[in-house]
Each structure stands twice: as C-alpha cells, then as structure tokens.
Amino acid sequence: MKIYIGSDHAGFELKEILKKHFCAAKEFEDFGTFSNESVDYPDFAHKVAESVVTDPENIGILICGTGNGMAITANKHPNVRAALCWSPEISTLAKQHNNANILVLPARFIDTELAIKTVESFFNAEFEGGRHQNRINKIDLQ
C-alpha cells in the first residue's frame, strides 16, 4: 500500500517524522511542502485527495496546524473521506465505521508519540462494512 502524504508549513516537521518512522514498512509519495516556509494548505490537500481518488487502493495523510483546513479541502473531492483524528481510538473508528481514506492530523495539537500511535491505528484498522457501508453510500451528493 502506498501512502500519499502532504502538509503545510505547520505540519512539515511532523510529516518528516512520520515518513522516517514508517519508511521501512510503507511507501510514501510526498506532495510537499518541503520546508517550514508559509504555504497554502489547499494546494497540498488537493494533490493528496486527487491521488486517493485516482488510486483508491492507497490512502492519504494530511497534516496542518489544526487539521481543519486540510480536512475541509480534501472532503470537497467525491469519494474522499478525510477524517481529522487526534487519538488512536478515533483513527481506528474513522477507518472501521467511516472507511476513511485520508487521515488528517492536527500538528499543533498532537505530540509526536501520539501522532505515531494514531497513524499506526489507522494503518491497522479495517473497514467493517455492513450498516456502515449503507451510511457511506449516503455521503456523496452526486
């Protein structure tokens, strides 16, 4: 499984830490940003979301200061279910119940250890289907 990843300047350091931590087990395609210089988060959210839509066997990770801007932007794309998560329990449920295909992290509100555990939980969770699929079928307006 490939991981499409992107961040703005507020999420840059956490993005780099996550890539380094998981590089032995996961393949990443990094859409930037590549420094702490101020950038516009939608530029990176759109790239990751478009990649997940085009290649639905893979998932995405987006990181910004609060996570809200990335989640709002990514969720504008049909068939994207970007979930803002700040704990392993929430990321597990986002995958199990919502079949989230993009994990969004709030870099300014989560420490490194908790972020790693949250990502691990997201990677390890499986969509449960059933009644949850019925609900997911009602999300997109198209």
**pLDDT 10s digits, 13-31:** 999 999 999 998 999 999 9
The pLDDT score that the predictor gives to residue 1 is 87
Q: Is residue 113 part of a domain?
A: yes
Statement: residue 35 has pLDDT above 70: yes
What backbone torsions phi and psi does residue 79 show, to the nearest 5 degrees? Answer: 70, 10
CATH number at residue 41: 3.40.1400.10
Asked if residue 19 belongs to a domain, the reply is: yes
pTM: 0.96
Residue 118 lies in a domain: yes
Q: How many residues are recorded in the chain?
A: 142
116 is in which domain, residue-wise? Answer: 2-136
> In this structure, is residue 141 part of a structural domain?
no
Alpha helices in the chain (DSSP H): 12-22, 41-54, 68-74, 88-98, 112-124, 131-136
Is 125 inside a domain boundary?
A: yes
Domain count, the chain: 1
Tokens of 94: 């986002």
- Which DSSP letter does residue 81 get? -
Query: Is position 22 within any domain?
Result: yes
Q: Is residue 124 part of a domain?
A: yes
Residue 119 lies in a domain: yes
**pLDDT by residue (tens digit) across 61-71?**
999 999 999 99
Active-site annotation, residues: 64, 97
